[in-house]
Structure formats: C-alpha cells, structure tokens
A and B are shown apart, each in its own frame.
Chain A
Amino acid sequence: MKVTFPHMGHLWLVLKAALTGIGLEVVVPPPCTRRTLELGVRHAPESACLPLKVNLGNFLEAQELGADTIIMAGGVGPCRIGYYSQVQGEILRDLGCAYEMIVFEPPDVHFSEVWDKIKYLNRRPWQEGVHGVIMAWLKACAVDALEQEVQRLRPREASSGMADAVFRRALQELDAAGSRREINRVVKEKKEELAALPRRPDVRVLRVGIVGEIYTVLEPLVNLDIEKRLGALGVEVVRGLFLSRWINDNLFKGLLPLPGHHPEKTAPPFLNHFVGGHGWESVGDTVTFARRGCDGVIQLAPLTCMPEIVAHSVMPAVQQATGIPVMTIYLDEQTGEAGLQTRLEAFVDMLRRQKGVKAG
C-alpha cells in the first residue's frame, strides 16, 4: 500500500510524519503547480469549486509516482467537501486509475467507524503509531510558529524573499527531523536566523487579517501567493487559520490549551449559526481582527463557495459596526496575476491613506 493525500499548504509535512509514523509508505504528491491545476480542471466537472479540481490533480500526479491509496477528508455539509471524495472516486475510476480511497469524516453512528479505518491503516505496534502522531503534531506546531515569524518579517526585511528562503530550508529540515529534540533544534536555529536578517529602517507596516475558506487561505498556488505579495507591499499578515489550530479544533476537539476559533462568541450578532466550511469563522475572525486593531481584512474564497458567500453578505454590516475595511476575493482557475495585484495595491493604498488621516 502506497498512500497519498491532497496538498493544502504545508499539510503534507504533517500528514507525511503521521502516516510514516503508523508504518505506511507515503507518496507525497509533487508540489502544486500549473500542471496540477490543468490536470484537475481537465477531468473535474466545470461547476465544481476549485479545491476539488486541484485535489484531483494531486491524485493524478501522485499516481504517476506509484501511489495506490488516497487518504481524503470528508464532511457532512453544508460545504461541498462532503462530496469531493465521492466525485473524485468516480472520476478516477472512469479514468481507469486503480485507487483505493479511504475517507475520514465525522461518523454517522459511532466513533468506531473512524477507529476501524485507523486500524485498517496501522502497520505498527500502537506505541510507535502514537509516537508518529505526536511527531506530526509537533511538526505542525513548529511550522506554524515559524510561519508566523515569517509573516511578521516579510514587510520588514531589507530585501524581499530572504525570510522565505530561511522558511523553505526550515521545512526541509523539519521534514527530515525524527525526534522532538531535532524539531526543537530546527525551530530554535531558524528563529535565530530569521531574527538576524537585515531589516529595512523605519518602515510603516500595516496589519491585515486574512480570513476565508481554509484551502484558499492555506494553499499558495490557489491564492497566487497572496501573503508574499502583501508582505512585499509592506503588510504584516495575520490569520486565524493555521494547521495546528485546525487540527486541535477539529481532530482533538479543542482539548489542547491553544487559542481556538470561537465564532459562537465573536460572530454574533452578525451571524449566529454555523453555515458550513469556515463561513462562521470568517465573520468571527473579522470581528476579532477589528478588535485587535488590524488595519483591514481580506476574505478569500473559491468562486461559488456557499459558506463564504453567506459570510461575504454579512461583511458590510461587520464593516459598518467595527469600521474595519474588508475586501473579498474569489479565486478560480485564472492564473493572470495582474488583477489580484491591482486590487491588493489599491487596498493597501486605501488603508495607508486612511491611517494617515487618522494619525494626522
């Protein structure tokens, strides 16, 4: 059995650690590129949202490397991810790909449904499997800690790209790390390297929160590297969605004492219900960012994403009540970057001028 999974930002590093930890042979799909997108778009239904298409591209590229089993997330709506695995499975079958698909989703009846799948996959004594999962969790926390540093540095570094170069090396080293000690060493070393990077003198940095659908927020191929673009424009990006937080909120059910999403506390009175996906969190996080004094918020979503459309329609009320400017960007398969760049520049210009007025 050679397992693979869809890409979502740095998720591969975490999943690889967990799955190797339980004794599986893992095929990490090639990094998402334009080819991935083209493969997915060619075979997926036109009206499906973008993540489904890119995932499909990942599966097809992983198969070229010998993968025969897919580990996929499912869901129970209203977000369409619940039917991704079904549709993708059918498409792959039609294409003659002999893939086995194992879907993890909230159980219908009993938690044993999930448990059975884990038992089916596990190849190691339990203690070792647990060790693998702990490694994966530590790596997720390490990636997130370093990425937050990078987000802070991008607008401040003397020449752009230096912090990202350190981060890229950090990801490679974290991937290779096999123990808690090694992980801690990588984090410490890279943090020091980042801290030593030359800075630009006297920059006026803006803070912009990114909210929205998790896939478009975390996958740089799809959001056209929006965080790097903003960094180059002198913006420190903050976001509520991180892998470690997502794992804690969803898989560990918030057991670990980490800052989680609490849309039930922050989103009302603008949005009082779960609307699928991360729509509720988008509204809640926007309120949180406004309270924390961010200069603006950018909402990202794949075109036709229902939960984010609901959140989008609530945003004018949030803007009015909190005074924070919100810009919504729908992403689809277009790779022309000029349109996005123009909007980002205009948004940042607007925030700078507004801030100038407030300060003056």
Chain B
Amino acid sequence: MTSIYLGIDVGSVSTNIIALDTDGNLIASVYLRTRGQPIPAIQEGLREIRATLGQEVTVAGVGTTGSGRGLAAVMTGADVVKNEITAHAVAASKVVPGVQTVLEIGGQDSKIIILRQGVVTDFAMNTVCAAGTGSFLDQQAARLGIPIEDFGRLALEARNPVRIAGRCAVFAESDMIHKQQQGHPLEDIVAGLCEAMVRNYLNNVGKGKEILPPVVFQGGVAANAGMRRAFSRALGTEVIVPEHYGVMGAYGAALLAREAGPKTSAFRGFELTERDFRTGGFECRGCANHCEVVELREENEVLARWGDRCGKWSNAVAV
C-alpha cells in the first residue's frame, strides 16, 4: 500500500489535483476546467487520480489552495489550507532551488512573487485589470478563430510583431481589430498581443519589483510559447518553465501538506466522489448588509456556511 499526499488547487478557470509520493515526487496530476462548478470538478479530479494510482493508496495528507480552497478543504477534509502565493512559491522553490522571481499567470489573475534565499520577500497580484490573464488570451484566440493551443506556436512564426496597446484589455482589443483591418498577417498580430500582455504584466503586476534570475514562469499561460519568448525578450534573461507548470499551485499545496506531516489525515476518503454535495445560498435579512450566505450540504447535512459578515451563520456550523 502506497502513501500519498494530495494537493488540490481550485481556481476560477481550472481545478488541478496532484498526488505526491512520500519522497515528494509528483506521481499523478489532473488538470480540469472548473466551469464555474468546483464541486463536480473536485469529484471528477479525485476519481481520475484514483484511477491512475489504482485502489491501493492511503492518503497521508491533503493541502488545498486557490480561490476555492475553503470549499475544497471542507469537502475533502484538508490538513492544510493555503493561499496561492505561498503554494506557488513553495512549488517553484522545490523545482528550481534558488529561484528569485516567479511569474504566474492563471485564468483570472496573475501574480509575481519575489524570493530571496528561499523566502518570499515581496509579491503582487493584479488588482483591477484582467488584461494580462489567461481568460483574455482565450477570448482573443476565440475571436481570431485560432485554437488556444496553436496561439503560441503561431506567435513564434511572426517576423514583424505589430505594436498593440497593452494598458487595457479594451484598448488592446480595438487596437488589434484596427491592425487586422489594415491587413497585418495574423502571426504578427498574435505576437504583438503577447508582447503587449507582457508589457502590461510588467507595468501593473511587476511594477517596482526587482526581477532577478533565475526567473520561473508558471500557470496555465506558460504553455504559450509566444508568451515565453515575449517574457525572456522583455526581461533579457532566460525564463524557466517547469515541467508541471500548469499544476504548480496544487503541487505547492501537496508539498505543504507533506511538510505539515499530520499524524492522521483529515481526508474524508475517496468515497466522497460518489456522495451528493450541494451548495445553496440565501440572503440574510438580519440587517441592511443583506449578506449572501452560501452553504455546503452533503445529503441533508450542512457542512459549512460562509459569506456572512457578522458570523451569525458561519459560526452556527462547527467546521
């Protein structure tokens, strides 16, 4: 019987689950689209992990991260619940010891993490703008009629990348349409878009940060060769894309669970993939805040509630 650690990263766009062996090696990973429904995504992911590993595994620890980390933690019984910054930094340090800069671009957010001597010293996340994120790339690829998988390869074929405004997604889009109508070839526009996105990222997220090598680039967008090249050009240094770039958050969460080393894991068992979980919500009328309270139920039992400011509902359930 093998012992494993699970890492679960529930993001806005993708839900990733990975399994580590007791030495910290990644032995299975699943990348799924969340599609706004984290619960089935988590169940599906766990099913696939179990299918890959076979029946004979015991779970020694579970870590969750991502914007859905709270939900995932209650549902699966997590031992460690960590924010994405810490999870990504831990994973990057494991893969590239001595890493000093982590660039991470996911579906709806992007972040930069600065490390010195293995410790996070500074970080930033995009706040008000989604121009540099995966969703925007997805959307533009769809508009140009190119499968997102070919987007990066196409960008590499460009000979004269066109200049596209990078400050704002709306400006970028109208600039792109204008350049298209002028007759610029598609690959030049796509490459120009990658450069604009990198400029936007460095100006907004990377603003004021000292970006030193080694630089690791991770998150779903690191799959895009055009973005990789645009980054290494803009920074004037090699950009390392780790093998498991798409699941680094989950990897970090699993590493943290392993580091915490719980005596017995709180994991509720792979059977949870077959149970009936539901979320529901209601608006509390207790005061004028009208908080939108969300609750997670398993069959008829309420597992957790959250979303209330005063704690009236969330404290009513022992988590």
Q: Which residues of A contact B (CB under 8 A)?
A: 30-31, 33-36, 161, 225, 303, 316, 325, 330, 332, 338-339, 342-343, 345-347, 349-350, 353-354, 357
Contact = CB atoms under 8 A, between A and B. Distances in A.
Interface in B68-108: 82-86
B122 A325 contact: yes
B119 interface: yes
A36 B287 CA distance: 12
A342 B82 CA distance: 9
Given A349-B120, A357-B117, 6 more contacts: A33-B287, A33-B288, A225-B309, A339-B127, A345-B86, A357-B119
13 contacts: A33-B289, A34-B288, A34-B289, A325-B121, A325-B122, A342-B67, A342-B84, A345-B82, A346-B120, A349-B83, A349-B85, A350-B119, A350-B121
A331 to B, nearest CB: 10
A338 B70 CA distance: 10
Contact of B127 (A31, A161, A330, A353): A330
Interface of B: 67, 82-86, 117, 119-123, 125, 127-128, 208, 287-291, 309, 311, 315
Nearest to A36: B288
Contact of A345 (B83, B128, B289, B291): B83
Contact of B82 (A30, A347, A349): A349
* Main secondary structure on B side of the interface with A: loop
Nearest to A313: B208
B257 to A, nearest CB: 15
Contacts of B128: 303, 330, 332
A30 B288 contact: yes
B211 to A, nearest CB: 13
Contacts of B83: 342, 345-346, 349
Contacts of A342: 67, 83-85, 125
User: Which 9 pairs show the lowest CB-CB distances between chains A and B?
Assistant: A346-B85, A33-B288, A345-B83, A35-B288, A350-B120, A33-B289, A349-B86, A346-B83, A342-B83
Q: Which of A316, A330, A332, A349 has the most CB of B within 10 A?
A: A349
A357 B85 CA distance: 18
Contacts of B208: 316
A350 B119 CA distance: 7
Nearest to B291: A34
A346 B123 contact: yes
A346 B86 contact: yes
